[in-house]
Structure 1
Amino acid sequence: MLLTFDDGYIDNYTFAFPVLDELGVQGSFFIPGKTFTTYELLDVNKIHYLLASTDIHIILKDLLERMDHYRGNEYSYPSNEELFQEYAKSNRFDSKEVIFVKRMLQTVLPEELRNRIASELFVEHVGISEQQLAHELYMTAEQIRTLKHHGMHIGVHGYDHYWLGNLSKEKMQQDMQKALEIMDEFIDSRKWAMNYPYGSYNEDVIRYAKEHGACVGVTTEVRIADLEIDDVMKLPRLDCNDYPPKSENYKRMGQA
C-alpha cells in the first residue's frame, strides 16, 4: 500500500507524520515548489477557502458578473452560457455549480484574469489575507527536510500546481523545470515520483517527466492499481474520501 499526501499542507506534518513515524510506515508527500519558497497561496486553496466561506450561488453570481465585466475589454473568451454548458458537470463530490467555479478559476479563463478574479473574490468573501493564510497552511522547507530525515518519501507535484495537461508544451516544461530545481535536495534526480496536479497530464508531460528521471507517476483515476498491468506513469489511486468516515466506496473497488 502506498499512502500519498498532496500539496504540502502543514497538517500533513503535524498530524499524519507523527502517526506514520510512530508506526514505522512510510508516507509519500508530493509538494508543489511554490508553497515553501514564495509562500503564495495556490489557486486550488484560494478557491477551496472561497467556496467554504460563502454560498455557491453568491460566488457563481459574482464570478459571472466579473466574467461579463472583463470580456471584450482586456480578454476574449466565450459567453457565460457557452462556458457553463461546457464545464458545469457535477462529479462524485461537487455540484455542477461548484465544478464550474473551479474550472473557470483553475484553468479555463486566461491565467492573469483568473488570478485577478480569484483574488478579488477572496478579499470580498474570505476575510483573511492570502499571505497570512499561506504561511499558516503549508509546510516549511525545514519541515520537509525533517520528513525526509525520518524516512518519508518526497515527490514532485509541479511548481505552480497547474493543470499540466492543459498548458502549452513550453509552459509545462518551464513549470516542471522549476519544480525539479527547487525539489532537487529532496529527491533523487535520477529516480523520482511524479504526482500530476489535478490528475492532469498528457503524453508531453509524461515524456518530459521520464526524460528527466521520473520512474513512476500517480493520477487521480479512482481505482486500485494493478502493478502487473497498469502503466507505471499513470497509476490510479483511491481518495481519502473513499474510506470511512466519509464513505465506504473502497469496498466497491476491491478490498484495500
Structure 2
Amino acid sequence: MQIKIVMYHYVRQIQDSKYPNIKGLEISAFKRQIKWFQQRFNFISAKQILNAIYFNELVPNNSISLTFDDGLKDHYSNVFPILKKEKIQGMFFVSGEPLENQVVLYVHKLQFIIEKCPISKILKELMGFIQDNKSKYDLLDFNEYKKKLSTTDPFDDPETVLIKRILQFGLAMNARKQFIDDLFFKYVTKDEKSFSKELYLSMDDIHEMKEGGMYFGSHAYSHEWLEFTHLKNELEKTIRSYSKINPDKNSWMMAYPSGSYNPTVIDEIKKLGFRAGLIFEQKEAILDKDHAFILNRFDTNDFPQ
C-alpha cells in the first residue's frame, strides 16, 4: 500500500507581517490546498497508517495524510481550526525543548536571522567568525567547509544552503551556537523567552488539539541532526518530554529533524518503542514493516496552492 504524506512548517499570514521574508505558506493558500486535496484524496489518520503497516489493514485508494513539523503556534492558531472544521486529522510533530525551557531552537534562530539579514552579510560575518575563532574551537578554513558542505537544494540558493549546513552540523556545536546566538540577539531579539512563547505551541494548545482529534508525534528534543548529535543524550531528553505529550506508546512516531537519520538512529528509536519514522523524500510512502521507519513525505510546495 502506498499513500501520500505531506509536510508543512510555517502556515501564517506572511505578506505585510512582521516577518515578510520567512519561508512558509499563507493561510489563504493552505485553505485552497485543503480544498484541492478534498476533491482528489481520502484523508487518513495516524492510527490507520500504523494499522496498515503492522496489521495489513487496507486504506482507501488515493489516501493522504497531512503532517506539521516543529510544534509552531501557527499550527494551533491557523491550522487546527481549519482541520477541525473539515474533520481532518493532522499529525503534529513537536520538539520538546521549547516546551520545557522556553527557548528558541537553533534551527529557528537561524531562519529568523536569515529573514532579517541579507545572506551576503551573514556569510561575511560567518567567514570572520571562523577566522577569528579557529584556535578556540579548532575550526577549519572557511574554504574547507565550503568544499565539504556545498550542495544544491530545491528551496534555497547555494549560499543559503551552505550557511545552513555549516551552522546546523558543520561547525562544532559550541562554535555554531555562539555564532547563532550572537546574530539572533543582534538582528532578531534579545528577549528569547517571549519570542519562544510567541513561536511555539504550549501544553494547553496541545491538549486542546488532542481533544479536537489531532495526533502528536515526536520531532526529537532540540531539533539537532540525529546523524551528527550525541544521540543517546538527545533521545533520553526526547523520551522524557514526548511521553508527557503522548503517553500512548503504541502510537509513537518520529519525524526526523531536518530528515536526518541513519541505521543507528532507526535502531535506537525502535528500542525506545517508536513504531514509525518519517523522512523527507518526495515520493509516496510505502506502508509495510520494511518501510515503517523511512516513510516518505512530500512538501506542501509539491502540490497546487
Asked if Structure 1 and Structure 2 have the same fold, meaning a TM-score greater than 0.5 normalized by the shorter chain, the answer is yes
- 1:85 paired with 2:147, answer yes
Task: Give the aligned partner of residue 205 of structure 1.
Answer: 265
Structure 1 CA distance for aligned equivalents of residues 291 and 65 of structure 2 = 16
Structure 2 CA distance for aligned equivalents of residues 111 and 176 of structure 1 = 17
Higher relative contact order (CA 8 A, sep 6+): 2
What is the CA-CA distance between 1:174 and the residue it aligns to? 1.6
The structure 1 residue matched to 2:105, chosen from 42, 45, 49, is 42
Question: Which deviates further from its counterpart, 4-13 or 145-154?
Answer: 145-154
Identity %: 32
Residues 21-68 of structure 1: CA deviation (Å, up to 9, x unaligned): 111110000000012111100011101001111111111001110111
The structure 1 residue matched to 2:137, chosen from 70, 75, 95, is 75
Q: What TM-score results when the alignment is normalised by the length of structure 1?
A: 0.90
Structure 1 CA distance for aligned equivalents of residues 282 and 84 of structure 2 = 27
Structure 1 CA distance for aligned equivalents of residues 152 and 133 of structure 2 = 26
The structure 2 residue matched to 1:174, chosen from 217, 223, 233, is 233
What is the CA-CA distance between 1:126 and the residue it aligns to? 2.4
DSSP-derived class of the 1:41 partner:
coil
Q: Do 2:150 and 2:158's aligned partners in 1 also have CA atoms closer than 8 Å?
A: yes
Q: Do 2:149 and 2:170's aligned partners in 1 also have CA atoms closer than 8 Å?
A: no
Task: Give the aligned partner of residue 143 of structure 1.
Answer: 205
One-letter amino acid of the counterpart of residue 102, structure 1: K
The structure 2 residue matched to 1:196, chosen from 256, 260, 264, is 256
Residues 144-171 of structure 1: CA deviation (Å, up to 9, x unaligned): 111111111100110011100112xxx2
DSSP-derived class of the 1:59 partner:
helix
- 1:231 paired with 2:291, answer yes
CA 1:228/1:176 → structure 2, altered by over 3 Å: closer, same or farther?
A: closer
- 1:241 paired with 2:301, answer yes
What is the CA-CA distance between 1:128 and the residue it aligns to? 5.2
One-letter amino acid of the counterpart of residue 201, structure 1: Y
- 1:9 paired with 2:72, answer yes
Task: Give the aligned partner of residue 56 of structure 1.
Answer: 119
- 1:162 paired with 2:221, answer no
What is the CA-CA distance between 1:230 and the residue it aligns to? 6.2
Q: Do 1:191 and 1:213's aligned partners in 2 also have CA atoms closer than 8 Å?
A: no
Mind listing any 5+ residue stretches in structure 2 that lack a counterpart? 1-63
Q: What TM-score results when the alignment is normalised by the length of structure 2?
A: 0.76
One-letter amino acid of the counterpart of residue 131, structure 2: D
The structure 1 residue matched to 2:95, chosen from 32, 36, 55, is 32
Runs of 4+ in 1 over 2 A off after TM superposition: 123-132, 226-230
What is the CA-CA distance between 1:133 and the residue it aligns to? 1.5
Structure 2 CA distance for aligned equivalents of residues 24 and 12 of structure 1 = 15
Q: Give the number of equivalent residue pairs.
A: 241
Structure 2 CA distance for aligned equivalents of residues 227 and 61 of structure 1 = 46
Task: Give the aligned partner of residue 181 of structure 2.
Answer: 119
Mind listing any 5+ residue stretches in structure 1 that lack a counterpart? 246-256
DSSP-derived class of the 2:130 partner:
helix
